[in-house]
Amino acid sequence: MTPLRLGYLYGIGAYLLWGFFPLYFKLLRPTGPLEILAHRIVWSVLFVALLLGALRNVGFLRALLRRPWTVAGIVAAAALIAVNWGTYIYGVSSDRVVETALGYFINPLVVVLLGVTVLRERLRPAQWIALGIGGAAVAVLAVDYGRLPWLALTLAFSFAGYGLIKKRLGLPAAEGLFVESAVLALPALGYLAWLSRHAELTFGHVSAGHTTLLVLAGAATAIPLLLFAGAANRLPLTGLGMIQYLAPILQLACGVLIFHEPMPPARLAGFALVWLALIVFTADAVDQSRRTRTRAHTRATEAPVSTP
């Protein structure tokens, strides 16, 4: 199997798992969002620690501790991913799966916005058009909801910020996830201990199946991230960008078709504007990638051939 085909399999596997996350988190009721988040953090640490132990790759921690700025970046990334995970779990638990899907639809547009505001990047005209359409979509959805879609915006901005920090840090997927989860593990354990002390802990008190699902939250968190890392290392950005919409499409389908969340005409119009913005954004990215390949090929063919 070629690396490219393997990369697509990894990417599709990651986004399929993320797309069906609402079904998984619904099974964790009656556990509250914060307890689910705490279990997700604690069991992620244990799962990735076992993985790194099996790979005999634990020496990276010593080297990491000698890089204080990297550690500070990891702490910031951990805080953002905790906000993202907690917001997503809250959205699913409060029957707002459609709004969580919206967050991941607009995430690519937020990434572009951060590129302008944080990295001082210059946008192409099509990217400005996509951002304008996306802004109009948020306005339409705000009118429909009677408020800003804050849950979707929190998901989009927290994940975009997390991705920006991760790109700057350049840590491998397993090692990065382990350190991020380890940073959050102490407060997560403290919260679980507080719940236990006040007899509010659901872990071990609902059913054996429920307890097993909470334990598996660690693997459910780590496996798609590792698959995504495998895809990112093998696919061009345009290929990865095309399949990233698979997860919110499946999440939207879960919300509307399985959980029967409402989709009134105004909300559908807002989503249609988001999709139009993504079409403009993706078409521009594909065209830019094609132009880059063409220029590289032209330079290669025009380069003088040296003779011995």
Predicted pLDDT at 191: 95
pLDDT in tens, the chain (308 residues): 788 888 889 889 999 999 999 999 999 999 999 999 999 999 998 988 888 776 666 666 677 767 778 888 888 988 998 999 999 999 999 999 999 999 999 988 888 888 778 777 787 888 889 889 988 998 999 988 889 899 999 999 998 888 888 777 777 767 777 888 888 999 999 999 999 999 899 998 899 999 999 999 989 988 988 888 778 777 776 667 678 888 999 999 999 999 999 999 999 999 999 999 888 888 887 787 777 777 766 766 665 544 34
Question: Is the N-terminal amide bond of 149 cis, ω within 30° of 0?
Answer: no
pLDDT at 305: 47
Which pLDDT belongs to residue 56? Answer: 65
The confidence score (pLDDT) of residue 54 equals 67
Q: For the packed helices 68-93 and 173-197, what is the interaxial angle rounded to 10 degrees?
A: 60
User: What local confidence, expressed as pLDDT, does residue 179 receive?
Assistant: 84
Mean of all residue pLDDT scores within the chain? 85
Q: Give the distance between the most distant pair of CA atoms in the chain.
A: 81
pLDDT computed for residue 185 by the predictor: 92
pLDDT at residue 55, as a whole number:
60
ω into 30 cis (within 30 of 0): yes
**Contact status, residue 235 vs residue 11, Cβ threshold 8 Å:** yes
Confidence (pLDDT) at 119:
73
Q: Given the structure tokens 């099996």, which residue do they identify?
A: 54
pTM of this prediction?
Answer: 0.86
Q: Would you state the pLDDT for residue 306?
A: 44
pLDDT score, position 60: 67
pLDDT of residue 49: 84
**Cα–Cα distance measured from residue 113 to residue 107, given in angstroms and rounded to the nearest whole number:** 10
